[in-house]
């Protein structure tokens, strides 16, 4: 089998015994205690299945499983325990996301059956993830093409916004940067529902302005039914809302409660529009800084670092 298995125990004799019996059946690594286990996970992971003894000095099996779950959520985790009480089971499920419990001493044959079951579970979860990723990729591609066809100028600007959002996300340590980049690309998705006369009309007119203000909410609703797009939809829904809670949607969400991706997208989107109008990056950035309640200060700082440091003689100042 190609899938790698890691067996963790503080008893060297047990490890050697299992390795001797199971090495021809599995691609098996062993680790003597929690410290060696974490080293193996970091150096050789991800593992398809991780089997850990519950009671080990220094770092318990539960701590090893929890750390493995944090680093590689797809790894299937099996616990060996001589203390299968209710609290042990609850802690293992809540903290280590344990797939199966085995009571010590555990015959090698029983352990092999559990590992085979774990490998099947691992393959099932990987296959499901691949299907979801393919669905997500296909959906984003179709929506991007649709937006490009309906509103090519806006879609072209989204490419610039996406690159800038990605750069700021890296500076601020934004988790799930994929969601931020997709949200930046599809931020104006709601515009595909607007009539041509609205898209081509004067945005300062009250009737047109009212329809344009609904674009984030409409876009979010279009994306929500797509698998794994819930986080993207939330960023898009809050992309126009001020850091002080002003704007739409009209709810109580403000400040740090706003998705970081939405705070980044608002600043970058507004800056990119102003940059074209003012023909100057520094002037556009200064205008944003004059409205401190509308933007997250650390996002503005990262934006300045990103757009001003990237200037060259051929770009606007």
Query: Is the previous residue joined to 92 through a cis bond, with omega within 30 degrees of 0?
Result: no
Three-state SS letters, the chain: CCCEEEEEECCHHHHHHHHHHHCCCCEEEEEECHHHHHHHHHHHCCCCEEEEECCCCCCCHHHHHHHHHHHCCCCEEEEEECCCCHHHHHHHHHHHCEEEEEECCCCHHHHHHHHHHHHHHHHHHHHHHHHHHHHHHHHHHHHHHHHHHHCHHHHHHHHHHHHHHHHHHHHHCCCCHHHHHHHHHHCCHHHHHCCHHHHCCCCCCHHHHHHHHCHHHHHHHHHCCCCCCHHHHHHHHCCCCCCCCCCCCCCCCCHHHCCHHHHHHHHHHHHHHHHHHHCCHHHHHHHHHCCHHHCCHHHHHHHHHHHHHCCCCCCCC
202 sits in the region (left: phi over 0; alpha: psi -120 to 50; else beta) called beta
Q: What pLDDT does residue 136 have?
A: 72
- Report pLDDT for 21: 93
Query: Mean pLDDT per 10-residue run, the chain (317 residues)?
Result: 89 91 93 93 91 88 86 89 62 65 87 93 85 75 86 90 94 89 93 88 88 94 88 96 95 96 97 91 93 95 85 49
Distance separating alpha carbons of residues 114 and 91, to the nearest angstrom: 20
**If DSSP states are collapsed to H, E and C, what string results for 258-282?**
CCHHHHHHHHHHHHHHHHHHHCCHH
d(CA 213, CA 250): 12
What's residue 315's pLDDT?
A: 45
Q: Which residues pair with 6 in a beta bridge?
A: 29, 50
Per the DSSP assignment, residues forming a β-bridge with 49 are 5, 76
Domains of the chain: 4-127 (3.40.50.2300), 151-309 (1.10.3210.10)
Q: How far apart are alpha carbons 129 and 7 in whole angstroms?
A: 25
């Amino acid at each position: 089998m190609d899938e790698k298995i890691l067996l963790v125990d503080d008893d060297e004799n047990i490890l050697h015994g299992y390795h001797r019996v199971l090495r021809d059946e599995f691609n098996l690594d062993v680790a003597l205690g929690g410290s060696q286990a974490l080293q193996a996970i970091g150096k050789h992971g991800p593992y398809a299945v991780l089997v850990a003894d519950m009671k080990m000095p220094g770092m318990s099996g539960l701590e090893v499983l929890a750390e493995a779950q944090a680093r590689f959520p797809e790894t299937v985790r099996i616990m060996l325990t001589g203390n299968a009480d209710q609290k042990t089971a609850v802690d293992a499920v809540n903290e280590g996301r344990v797939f199966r419990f085995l009571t010590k001493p555990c015959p090698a044959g029983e352990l092999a059956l559990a590992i085979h079951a774990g490998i099947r579970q691992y393959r099932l979860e990987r296959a499901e993830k691949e299907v979801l990723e393919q669905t997500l990729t296909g959906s984003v591609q179709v929506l991007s093409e649709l937006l490009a066809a309906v509103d090519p100028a806006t879609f072209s600007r989204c490419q610039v916004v996406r690159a800038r959002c990605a750069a700021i996300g890296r500076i601020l340590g934004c988790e799930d940067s994929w969601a931020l980049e997709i949200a930046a690309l599809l931020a104006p998705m709601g515009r595909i529902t607007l009539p041509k006369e609205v898209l081509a009309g004067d945005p300062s007119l009250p009737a047109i302005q009212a329809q344009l203000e609904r674009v984030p909410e409409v876009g979010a609703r279009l994306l929500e039914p797509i698998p794994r797009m819930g986080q993207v939809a939330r960023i898009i829904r809050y992309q126009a809302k001020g850091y002080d809670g002003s704007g739409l949607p009209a709810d109580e969400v403000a400040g740090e409660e706003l998705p970081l991706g939405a705070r980044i997208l608002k600043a970058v989107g507004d800056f990119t529009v102003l940059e074209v109008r003012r023909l100057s990056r520094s002037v556009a950035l200064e205008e944003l800084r004059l409205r401190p309640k509308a933007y997250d200060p650390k996002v503005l700082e990262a934006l300045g670092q990103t757009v001003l440091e990237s200037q060259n003689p051929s770009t606007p100042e």
